[in-house]
Amino acid sequence: MFTIKKAVELTGIAAATLRAWEQRYGVGAPRRTEGGYRVYDQSSIDEIMAMQKLLDKGWRHQAAAAEILLHRTTGQIPGRPVAADSYAELSTAFLAAARSLDDEMLGAVLDIAFSRGSFESVVDTWLFPTLRILGQEWIAGNLDIASEHFASNAIMRRLGTAFEGTAAGSMNEKVVVGTPTGSFHEIGTLALAVAIRRQGLGVIYLGVNVPAEVWVDAVNRNRALGVAISVVMEHDVSTAQGIVDELNRSSIGVTIAVGGAFASSIQHATLVLQGGISESAKLIAQSLRAKK
């Protein structure tokens, strides 16, 4: 065990910086003696050194700290080149954080995942496959309901931040987005809303469990050019079909896009979205702009 004075000597990093990394990021966190003094073990020193190496390579503090925290779980070397299996490792770490209800670790995993590529590519390539694994683990009894809800809500918060952080888009090209009555599967719907915004379109996000009359009112009041309806489960088909039929009767010329596992069961929609959110958002944007 090393005192903070010795830790400074070993790492070459000022004591104030060591305290800041501990308090802000949880990196290099020491133990405390009965008298309240910081003492560092070798693993803390290793984390501090790894953090400094990442910063020297140009990493931002938050991203570097997230990388360090992730690799506590995976046991890999922080800052190594991205390998073909890196998303698989992130999924493993994500599930471990969910099982232990470790908010700090889960946040670190999400930070790293969304730093690997564009929002759309991360959602399509990593987030959705990881959620499928999460669901399979829950069905198999390897994950309890608290862990599943904990992970899902962390993702929803991250997607909400992404939505708010994306420019509002054109108010002359609005799309109403949500799920039909009785549908509460929101992650894919909100992710698509973010991707649509990133195409420069305006988004009226209604959320989940939205009745047909609300869709029609939202379209007409906002002069929306399109809607995107999630049809995730088989029991969503009838209510989604009712929305599509009501929109076709009440809203002239609106582009009706349906996506999700059971989207192909819907009749008289303008677009059936069968790709990922990147392709789907582009298809909606192209369809709306082709009208002008």
Q: What is the pTM of this model?
A: 0.77
- Type of residue numbered 188: G
- Type of residue numbered 19: R
What local confidence, expressed as pLDDT, does residue 70 receive? 76
Phi-psi region at 203: left, alpha or beta (left = phi > 0; alpha = psi -120 to 50): beta
Among residues 127, 106, 262, 134, the alpha carbon closest in space to that of 192 is found at: 127
Among residues 127, 95, 238, 259, the alpha carbon closest in space to that of 246 is found at: 238
Alpha helices in 116-186 (DSSP H): 119-122, 128-139, 145-165
- Domains belonging to the chain, first-starting first, are 2-59 (1.10.1660.10), 86-162 (1.10.1240.10), 168-290 (3.40.50.280)
65-85 pLDDT, tens digit per residue, is 877 877 765 555 555 544 445
Mean pLDDT of 178-185: 96
Token couple for 258:
């349906």
- Type of residue numbered 207: G
Percent of the chain residues past pLDDT 70, beyond the cut = 95
- Tell me phi and psi for residue 203, to 5 degrees: -125, 125
Percent of the chain residues past pLDDT 90, beyond the cut = 59
Question: What is the rounded distance in angstroms from the CA atom of residue 250 to the CA atom of residue 213?
Answer: 10
How does DSSP classify residue 29? P
pLDDT exceeds 60 at position 278: yes
User: In sequence order, what are the residues at sequence separation of 6 or more whose Cβ sits closer than 8 angstroms to the Cβ of residue 246?
Assistant: 212, 213, 215, 216
- Type of residue numbered 287: S
Mean pLDDT of 248-257: 89
Question: What is the rounded distance in angstroms from the CA atom of residue 261 to the CA atom of residue 134?
Answer: 17
Q: Are 27 and 65 in contact (CB under 8 A)?
A: yes
Among residues 166, 164, 177, 185, the alpha carbon closest in space to that of 206 is found at: 177
Question: What is the rounded distance in angstroms from the CA atom of residue 152 to the CA atom of residue 156?
Answer: 6
